[in-house]
Amino acid sequence: MSPPTTSRDNQKKASILIVEDEATLAFCLEEALIDAGFEVAGVAGRLETALAMIHNGVFDAAILDANLAGVSAGPAASAMAARGLPFIVVSGYLPEQQQTAFTGALCLQKPCRPDRVIRALRSILPAQ
Amino acid sequence: MHKHLSSRSALLDENAALHAQLDEAAETLRAIRSGEVDALVVQSSRGPQIYTLQGQDAETNRFRGEMLAQVSDAIIAVDGDERITYLNAAAERLYGFDGPRALGRTLTTIFKSRWLHPQDEAAARTALQERGEWRGENVHVRHDGHELNVESSITVLRGIDGLPTGQLAVIRDVTERKQNEDRVLVSEIRYRRLFEAAHDGVLVLDAGTHRIIDANPFMTQMLGYPRDQLIGKELFEIGLLRDDAASQEMFRNLERAEQVRYESLPLESPGGRHQTVEVVANLYEENGRPVIQCNIRDITERRRSEEHVKLLMAEVNHRAKNLLAVVQAVAYQTAKHGDPATFADRLSERIGGLAAGQDLLVKSEWKGVEVCELVEAQLAHFKELIGRRVVLDGPPAQLTPQAAQGIGMALHELATNAVKYGALSNGEGRVRIVWKIIADSTPAFSISWLEDGGPKVAAPGRKGFGQIVIGRMAEAAVQGVAAITYGESGLSWNLSAPLEDTLTVIQVAA
């Protein structure tokens, strides 16, 4: 996992936290984000890691997988909301199976093309 | 001769006179039978005797005869030898014997008695001897074998001297009534048993007062109240309906529809047990009184298992789509880093590797995968080499689903690479797959892929997806560190990670 980087230095690259337990998907997302001109603030595969990064990290938005190794990512969503940071949720669950912590968030269904994730991220980030 | 002649004519005269008397007697008898004669004068040695046929006695006799013919009960009189001296029309019908044929015969000719209880016969005999009468039930078996359930009343007849002259029996056929009683009894036993043994609660309510008038044993078990505490209560008082208003509503609906059904109601028993019940209430009439029967079924378990199935379906959906997302990512990566000519083959191999890992996870109910089984599954194509050129060496250890996926994919890439370019590409190279648990202050799990005897290998110039899988992706899957060395006789790969991120049960080597 890469260390959280300080965003908004001189370049205007938005920094994104990836919360995804599936290494393949996390890697793919990371590549897609970098290719699209984002910075990756870090990758968390477990809820505890994700919560620690949300509390201490410096980033602009997050991509949350709804389920982290069998544990709901709901607390991560609440922590993001508490910090006032935007996030999108990527999930294998049907919308009606979704936990309430994700209510109101922009949700994408797995499998999802990387460019869709990028477009969704841009839609929740403040215009620069 | 004269005497002979005179006696012959005298005989003829006497004969004619006797004929005339006989005709007269026959006529008299016919007249008596047809009721035309009021009185009869008979010449006797003591002078003429008048016998009155009409009058008080005759009237009484005829009245009695008609009355006995009209009654529906069978009436039979017997003499001291049990020979039939009288039977009425009902008796003729009941036993299928007409009067003239029966008269003078013994009673056993028309039926034989069978007693309901062995002691009944002696009791009847005693009663007749001591009290001169007996009343009771038994079975009469007719001469044609037909059995009748009868209720009899037998009286001993006595002469002027007080001595018994015979018996008079009044017999009522109760066969039909008896059959009905038996049917009702069988029905009562059968439905009582259903009520008592049912594994549904059954409550019977008075539709007027809304109060419980009966409850089966299962109901008392479900609620935890003894039966006598249920009787007289209303449904909301036993926690079945929310309140009086809900109860009133149910009764209103019942009056309209005669059946009310609640798919799912919470039921709190006094012990604090929460149950979910299904209630079906029906309005019936019992002898003109409206009652409500409520069948209450505990569906707590059913609801729980329905919830469980729903949860499982959501889980299956989540996992299937997650796997599709992984396949999609693998396809992107294979296309991006690989040779377009071999794309389809490489992708199929990798999907095959994912499928093998999936099988193991399902087999273990998603709990985890033994390292040994994972290695064998990923090397299934070179099964014949295992134990010869491929050696597995390590303790039993169960990987978490995440670790199994990451390590499984890495093993798949290592095997493919070894067959193409490494130790398994020639005839003599060997591979040792070694894993161990390192008991340390921070316990760790370590797995190595060690090639030997293969051609000299060098680090690839461009990082392909295979390199990413055995490197960064394997590291991310187990929060570990991967080390790759390209040596003179083959590649060496090691992945070390905290035990808690790799194994399902924390095991510390002895």
pLDDT by residue (tens digit) across B349-404? 999 999 988 889 888 887 889 999 999 999 988 888 888 999 999 999 999 988 99
Flag if B473 and A24 touch (Cβ within 8 Å): yes
Torsion-angle region of residue B453: left (phi > 0), alpha (psi -120 to 50) or beta? left
The string of pLDDT tens digits covering residues A112-122 is: 888 999 999 99
Residue reference for tokens 């059913």: B302
Cα B51 to Cα B509: distance, rounded to the nearest angstrom: 134
Interface residues of chain A, partner chain B, Cβ below 8 Å? 1, 21-28, 31, 43, 45-46, 66-67, 69, 91-94, 97, 109-114
Alpha helices in B295-400 (DSSP H): 300-337, 343-363, 371-378
At residue B220, what is the residue type? T
The tally of domains found in chain A comes to 1
Question: Could you tell me which of B487, B346, B363, B356 has the C-alpha nearest to residue B417?
Answer: B346
Which range has the worst mean pLDDT, A28-32, A85-89, B26-30, B475-479? B26-30
* Identity of the residue in A27, A31, A97 whose CB atom sits nearest the CB atom of B314: A97
Look up residue B347 and give its two tokens.
């992708």
The string of pLDDT tens digits covering residues B462-472 is: 778 899 999 98
Give the number of other Cβ atoms within 10 Å of residue B497's Cβ. Answer: 23
* Identity of the residue in B321, B401, B406 whose CB atom sits nearest the CB atom of A110: B321
Range of the domain at A95: 15-124
Note the pLDDT of residue B427.
86
Q: How many residue pairs from chains A and B have C-beta atoms closer than 8 A?
A: 78
Nearest CA in chain B to A28: B329
The string of pLDDT tens digits covering residues B411-461 is: 999 999 999 889 999 888 999 999 999 988 889 999 999 999 988 888 887
Look up residue B134 and give its two tokens.
């007996």
Going by pLDDT thresholds of 50, 70 and 90, the confidence category of residue A9 is very low
Cα A48 to Cα A61: distance, rounded to the nearest angstrom: 18
State the nearest Cα–Cα gap between A11 and chain B, in angstroms: 27
The string of pLDDT tens digits covering residues B238-277 is: 888 888 888 888 889 988 888 999 998 888 877 778 889 9
Cα B285 to Cα B283: distance, rounded to the nearest angstrom: 7
Flag if B326 and A24 touch (Cβ within 8 Å): yes
State the nearest Cα–Cα gap between A58 and chain B, in angstroms: 21
Note the pLDDT of residue B3.
53
Distances (CA, A) of B188 to B192, B197, B354: 6, 14, 65
Q: CATH class for domain B73-179?
A: alpha beta
DSSP three-state, residue B390: strand
Q: Is the pLDDT of residue B509 over 80?
A: no
Query: With contacts defined as CB-CB under 8 Å, which chain B residues touch A107?
Result: none
E strand or H helix at A26, and its extent? Answer: helix A23-35
Flag if A93 and B317 touch (Cβ within 8 Å): yes
Going by pLDDT thresholds of 50, 70 and 90, the confidence category of residue B510 is very low
The string of pLDDT tens digits covering residues A34-86 is: 999 999 999 998 899 999 999 998 999 999 999 888 889 999 999 999 999 99
Cα A120 to Cα A107: distance, rounded to the nearest angstrom: 9
CATH (domain of A88) = 3.40.50.2300
Note the pLDDT of residue B365.
81
Flag if B474 and A109 touch (Cβ within 8 Å): no
Query: With contacts defined as CB-CB under 8 Å, which chain B residues touch A110?
Result: 321-322, 324-325
A contact test, residue of B313, B321, B495 with most A CBs within 10 A: B321
Could you give the percent of chain B with pLDDT greater than 90?
49
Query: With contacts defined as CB-CB under 8 Å, which chain A residues touch B330?
Result: 24
* Identity of the residue in A21, A45, A94 whose CB atom sits nearest the CB atom of B317: A94
Query: With contacts defined as CB-CB under 8 Å, which chain A residues touch B473?
Result: 23-24, 27
Where are chain B's structural domains? 73-179, 198-297, 330-502
Flag if B400 and A97 touch (Cβ within 8 Å): no
Taking residues A2-28, report their average pLDDT. Answer: 75
Note the pLDDT of residue B17.
86
Phi, psi of B455 (to 5 degrees): -65, 160
Residue reference for tokens 């009894």: B185
Question: Could you tell me which of B111, B63, B113, B106 has the C-alpha nearest to residue B85?
Answer: B106
B203 contacts B277 by C-beta, under 8 angstroms: no
Query: With contacts defined as CB-CB under 8 Å, which chain A residues touch B401?
Result: 69
E strand or H helix at A12, and its extent? Answer: none
Note the pLDDT of residue B239.
83
Q: Name the more confident of B313 and A101.
A: B313
Note the pLDDT of residue B389.
93
B425 burial type by CB count under 10 A (0-12 exposed, 13-18 middle, 19+ buried): middle
Going by pLDDT thresholds of 50, 70 and 90, the confidence category of residue B39 is low
ipTM attached to this prediction = 0.83
Taking residues B81-95, report their average pLDDT. Answer: 91
Distances (CA, A) of B216 to B191, B208, B230, B292, B334: 12, 21, 10, 14, 69
Note the pLDDT of residue B56.
57
Contacts of B250 (CB under 8 A, 6+ apart): B235, B241, B260, B281
Cα B260 to Cα B242: distance, rounded to the nearest angstrom: 16
State the nearest Cα–Cα gap between A24 and chain B, in angstroms: 6
Give CATH for domain B330-502: 3.30.565.10
Note the pLDDT of residue B364.
83
Which range has the worst mean pLDDT, A93-97, B49-53, B171-175, B500-504? B49-53
Taking residues B1-16, report their average pLDDT. Answer: 75
Contacts of A74 (CB under 8 A, 6+ apart): A99, A100, A101, A102
Distances (CA, A) of B28 to A33, B21, B42, B55, B458: 139, 10, 11, 18, 152
Q: Is the pLDDT of residue B67 over 90?
A: no
Cα B84 to Cα B102: distance, rounded to the nearest angstrom: 7
Taking residues B41-55, report their average pLDDT. Answer: 58
Cα B55 to Cα B50: distance, rounded to the nearest angstrom: 13
Look up residue B329 and give its two tokens.
């990512």
Flag if B332 and A26 touch (Cβ within 8 Å): no
**CATH 3.30.450.20 is the classification of domain B198-297:** yes
Note the pLDDT of residue B128.
92
Query: With contacts defined as CB-CB under 8 Å, which chain A residues touch B475?
Result: 23
Distances (CA, A) of B155 to B13, B69, B167: 55, 19, 6
Going by pLDDT thresholds of 50, 70 and 90, the confidence category of residue B37 is low
Task: Say if A9 falls within a structural domain.
Answer: no
Note the pLDDT of residue B48.
60
State the nearest Cα–Cα gap between A61 and chain B, in angstroms: 21
Angle ∠(B370,B374,B378) on CA atoms, nearest 5: 175
Interface residues of chain B, partner chain A, Cβ below 8 Å? 314, 317-322, 324-330, 332-333, 336, 400-402, 405-406, 409, 468-469, 472-477, 479
Instruction: Indicate the average pLDDT of chain B.
Output: 87
Could you give the percent of chain B with pLDDT greater than 70?
92
Contacts of B188 (CB under 8 A, 6+ apart): none
* Identity of the residue in A27, A97, A113 whose CB atom sits nearest the CB atom of B473: A27
Domains B73-179 and B198-297 share a fold: yes
State the nearest Cα–Cα gap between A30 and chain B, in angstroms: 11
Phi, psi of B459 (to 5 degrees): -60, 135
